[in-house]
Amino acid sequence: MAAPIEQVRREMTQCRAAPVTVAMAEGDGIGPEISAAVRRMLEAAGAAVRFDPVTLGEACYLEGVTSGIPPEAWDSLREHRVLLKGPITTPQGGGYKSLNVTLRKTLGLFANVRPCRAWHPFVTTRHPDMDLVIVRENEEDTYAGIEHRQTAEVTQCLKLISSPGSERLIRYAFELARAQGRKRVDCLTKDNIMKLTDGLFHRIFDEVAREYPEIEANHLIIDIGTALIADRPERFDVVVAPNLYGDIVSDVAAQITGSVGLGGSANIGENFAMFEAVHGSAPDIAGRNIANPSGLLLAALEMLRHVGDPATARTLQNPWLATLADGLHTADLYREGVSRKRLGTAEFADAVCQRLGREPAGYSERAPGALPSAEDTWRPIARRPEKRLHGVDVFVDWDDHGRDPNRLGDIVAELAQGLVLEPVIITNRGVKVWPGGIPETRCTDHWRCRFLAPEEAAVGHAEVLELLARFARAGLDFIKTEHLYSFDGERGWSLGQGE
């Protein structure tokens, strides 16, 4: 028989840990509704946390704080080092930076951990056995946010993958697998196309995996990897991926557990942790008291384990499951014939609080895995390789002569006369168009002219500057350059398609 609520509360109060203060931002859109619901459930369960409310997001953006994070919020974050955060709306246009990305990067929250498990039989899902954890890189990749418009037609986003950043993240994924007794880590990249950036991530994955022989390590190309996660998620255990792929695949995985509203996530750094739902601020349903607070609740339970109150995390997960087991579902989970009643956000929280002390029937909890703490695993490269300059890619904005690549080829061949750097190829959107391109290739106004020196020749900045001076004199608008280096004799640039 279930214990009376007051007795459960009394017992929980007696055994709970000393309270820890955490910063709490309620967020935008559905944020205030789900945050209030989660806070009420935590307080009812006697969680050993106090909240220091901070204001972040839309209101701050609209007051002219372009980061969305005012100085007093930074003070609170620095003081408490743990943040429970509702979803934030990043206003479109106007140069506003995503606050989520800023927080993750400024606070060094390098690992975004997103557990995606089925809550079978309480939540309808086609994948009752799925129980995977996605460990997404959080600071690099295209999310470095370095973008430029370079010509009238072409924009560019820089994808940065570093070896210390990848190693730290991948090591964390294996440590998590070890701490939670998980058997396999899958790495997702697109290194068949991005051989240098994703190739580096994959290579480091293989290297780190050798240190964990008891854990099966496997690499998949992101497209088939995502398809397999969507189709057979129960085959996966821990998944590690660069930032963008990890972001996409974790929404897929959260959705197929039953609803994206069920996804919680932890952002882990060496001295700081932030807990949030996987989903966004859902402006389409904001203010209607219909959002599911479960994603933020599950993130909050992870936070409780992090601050040393695993008992309340356990205590609160049970009534939450018991509520679902009773068929009391928010609109996103409601299924005719399966659910008993459709509840609003606040009523769902009430129902959970009423079930404190109850365990869901027919459910055996797999011990919720602890997250390993983030050790100081940032390892700058130990030995700097021998770096040698061989040439340069000069990108030009060129819209003359009907965009005939052969005319551009003639121009650059002539201007480089007598220089050590010789033109070898011109590409347009990565495809070779000179020498010997084909007329069917559609060309933009953005051209890459590659210059290389003969193998024995020495090349330095002076040779590059001389070449660029000739570009300027010829009236060619060079918009960026990339140097072509080798490292310990290994080519550090990709070949153009058709090169």
CA angle, residues 455, 456, 458, in degrees to nearest 5: 100
Q: Which of residues 351-370 bind ligand NAI (CB under 6 A)?
A: none
SS3 116: strand
Under rule CB under 6 A, how many of the chain's residues touch ligand NAI? Answer: 20
DSSP label at residue 436: T
DSSP label at residue 28: S
CA-based nearest residue to 267, from 366, 371, 187, 195: 371
H-helix or E-strand spanning residue 76: helix 71-80
Q: Which of residues 8-37 bind ligand NAI (CB under 6 A)?
A: 30
Which of 46, 68, 258, 280 lies at the binding interface for ligand NAI (CB under 6 A)? Answer: 280
Q: Are 45 and 306 in contact (CB under 8 A)?
A: no
**How are beta strands 273-277 and 82-85 bridged, if at all?**
parallel
Q: Are 185 and 174 in contact (CB under 8 A)?
A: yes
Which of 260, 298, 443, 449 lies at the binding interface for ligand NAI (CB under 6 A)? Answer: 260
What is the number of the residue whose Cβ is closest to ligand NAI?
280
**264 lines the binding site for ligand NAI (CB under 6 A):** no
Name residue 472's amino acid. A
Q: Which residue, 165 or 295, is less far from ligand NAI as judged by CB?
A: 295
**250 lines the binding site for ligand NAI (CB under 6 A):** no
Whether the CA torsion 450, 454, 460, 466 is positive or negative: it is negative
The torsion angles phi and psi of 22, rounded to 5 degrees, stand at -125, 150
**38 lines the binding site for ligand NAI (CB under 6 A):** no
Burial of residue 497 (CB within 10 Å: 0-12, 13-18, 19+) is: exposed
Which of 332, 359, 399, 422 lies at the binding interface for ligand NAI (CB under 6 A)? Answer: 332
Q: How far is the CB of 89 from ligand NAI (least distance, A)?
A: 4
Which of 243, 281, 315, 318 lies at the binding interface for ligand NAI (CB under 6 A)? Answer: 281
Q: Which of residues 416-475 bind ligand NAI (CB under 6 A)?
A: none
Which of 76, 100, 226, 257 lies at the binding interface for ligand NAI (CB under 6 A)? Answer: 100
Q: How far is the CB of 260 from ligand NAI (least distance, A)?
A: 5
Place of tokens 């070779």: 432
Spell out the residues 6+ positions from residue 235 whose beta carbon is closer than 8 angstroms to its own.
228
Q: How far is the CB of 340 from ligand NAI (least distance, A)?
A: 19
Which of 12, 254, 282, 324 lies at the binding interface for ligand NAI (CB under 6 A)? Answer: 282
**279 lines the binding site for ligand NAI (CB under 6 A):** yes
Tokens of residue 360, six digits: 């869901």
Which of 214, 284, 440, 490 lies at the binding interface for ligand NAI (CB under 6 A)? Answer: 284
Which of 292, 312, 315, 427 lies at the binding interface for ligand NAI (CB under 6 A)? Answer: 292
Rounded-to-integer distance, Cα 458 and Cα 456, Å: 7
Which of 46, 269, 295, 496 lies at the binding interface for ligand NAI (CB under 6 A)? Answer: 295
Q: Return residues touching ligand NAI (CB under 6 A).
A: 30, 87-90, 100, 260-261, 276, 279-285, 291-292, 295, 332
